[in-house]
Amino acid sequence: MQDSVRETAGTGHRFEPLPKSNWPIRVFVEAKSGAIMRGELTLH
């Protein structure tokens, strides 16, 4: 699961280890921001 998180953070975002109950929110926010910056928004 962490591997996919780092892949999503291809823009250079750093992800701190988070409890499983919290990481999806962080991943969504960070990945969405990174995707918008790259013009590759895939999260709806």
Confirm whether 32 is domain-assigned: yes
Domain count, the chain: 1
- Please report, in tens digits, the pLDDT of each residue of the chain (44 residues total): 555 555 555 555 555 565 566 667 777 777 777 766 666 655 55
Whole-number pLDDT of residue 29: 77
Whole-number pLDDT of residue 38: 65
Look up the domain containing 19 and give its range: 2-38
Whole-number pLDDT of residue 34: 73
Whole-number pLDDT of residue 30: 74
Whole-number pLDDT of residue 36: 64
Distance of CA 42 to the CA centre of its chain: 11
Confirm whether 18 is domain-assigned: yes
Picking from 18, 14, 11, 42, the residue whose alpha carbon sits closest to that of residue 1 is: 18
Whole-number pLDDT of residue 42: 55
**28 three-class SS:** helix
